[in-house]
Amino acid sequence: MSLENKVAIITGAARGIGYAVAKRFVMDGAKVVIADVDDEAGQSAVDDLKKIGEVTYVHCNVAERLDVRNLVAETLNAYGDVDVLVNNAGIVVGADFLELEEDDFDRVLSINLKGTFLCSQAVARHMVEKVQNGGEPGTIINMSSINAVLAIPNQIPYCVSKGGMSQLTKTTALALAPHGIRVNAIGPGSIMTDMLASVNNDPAARNRILSRTPMERVGEPSEIAGVAAFLASPDASYVTGQTIYADGGRLPLNYTVAVPDAD
Ligand SMILES: NC(=O)c1ccc[n+]([C@@H]2O[C@H](COP(=O)([O-])OP(=O)(O)OC[C@H]3O[C@@H](n4cnc5c(N)ncnc54)[C@H](O)[C@@H]3O)[C@@H](O)[C@H]2O)c1
């Protein structure tokens, strides 16, 4: 088990991609802290995953510095260490450019981008201290998106946040490389979670997605968890500052592909 006895914090892990990463990490032997704002879903995730391994829930709004500080303290209290941080918490607010509210712009940026910075800095302080005391360096994984590169006109703050995450991943990787701490990102394409539900229930929207997906299907959260497991493992020991796009071929595609069962 590649993550045997490692301690991992995963934000936004009460459901969706974060939950799949938590499940994979527990299966790979890690002790996992699920950090989320949805306490009910978080507790239910813990109840499920406790059947297969060690897992605990901490309430944490990643946009709040004191919550983040408490998250690291609770993790150290429970498990004595943090080896892996997955910055997965994220939200989408759709609005036309001319209608977009300032508060919505700020909210998305503060959760998706500033939250990643706050969690990374708080965890990195612990990781650097550990390295200075002779311990093993840890690793950080940011959940980016193909929207770090591709733009959607009515998802402005989301695309901006993921574009920023690309540079945040690189700058953090360079800052922490001298300590042996690796920082990478995953850029999922369209993945079957609640975030995608509205699109997936609308045949026209689904066909638009599939016409831009050479693999002719949306991805499963477990397929993103597999990339996270690789990046967290010693197999990725020389990989840092990268974003791995798991998108069924969308980014390399110019034009569109035929959708087999389109109406
Ligand atoms: N689903 C996709 O197609 C897709 C594609 C590309 C990238 N992503 C990224 O993957 C990540 C997870 O997406 P998902 O589809 O699983 O979303 P989701 O909406 O299913 O789950 C997001 C989780 O984050 C939690 N959360 C929201 N705000 C939070 C906050 N302030 N602090 C802590 N937790 C908070 C929610 O309670 C929820 O449990 C996001 O960063 C998203 O941008 C998703």
What would the pLDDT profile of 176-216 be if each residue is shown by its tens digit? Answer: 999 999 999 999 999 999 888 878 788 999 999 999 999 99
| pTM (predicted TM-score) | 0.98
Nearest one of 205, 257, 260 to 94, comparing CA atoms: 205
Q: How far apart are CA 163 and CA 134, in angstroms?
A: 35
The neighbouring-strand residues paired with 85 are 9, 140
- Which atom number of ligand 1 is nearest to the Cα of residue 194? 20
pLDDT digits 0-9 by tens, 67-117: 999 999 999 999 999 999 999 999 999 999 999 999 999 999 999 999 999
Query: From its phi and psi, is residue 46 left (phi > 0), alpha (psi between -120 and 50) or beta?
Result: alpha
For the cut 70, the answer to whether the pLDDT of residue 121 exceeds it is yes
Residue whose Cα lies nearest atom 17 of ligand 1: it is 195
Quick check: CB of 194 below 6 Å from ligand 1?
A: yes
Give the pLDDT confidence score for residue 1 in this predicted structure: 62
Active site residue 158: yes
Which whole number is the average pLDDT over 251-259? 96
* DSSP one-letter code for 169: H
Q: How far apart are CA 25 and CA 55, in angstroms?
A: 10
Amino acid at 231: L
The answer to whether the CB of 59 falls within 8 A of the CB of 40 is: no
Q: How far apart are CA 25 and CA 38, in angstroms?
A: 21
- Which atom number of ligand 1 is nearest to the Cα of residue 41? 39
Which whole number is the average pLDDT over 210-227? 97
User: Could you tell me the two tokens for 76?
Assistant: 């150290």
Q: How far apart are CA 243 and CA 165, in angstroms?
A: 10
- Which atom number of ligand 1 is nearest to the Cα of residue 158? 43
SS3 category, 219: strand
Residue whose Cα lies nearest atom 38 of ligand 1: it is 12
Expressed in angstroms and rounded, the spacing between residue 215 Cα and the centre of ligand 1 is: 23
Helices (H), the chain: 16-27, 39-49, 65-79, 102-108, 115-132, 156-176, 194-200, 203-210, 221-232
CA–chain centroid gap for 39, Å, is 19
Expressed in angstroms and rounded, the spacing between residue 92 Cα and the centre of ligand 1 is: 8
User: Could you tell me the two tokens for 62?
Assistant: 């990643």
Q: How far apart are CA 6 and CA 235, in angstroms?
A: 15
Q: Single out the catalytic residue among 19, 158, 245, 255.
A: 158
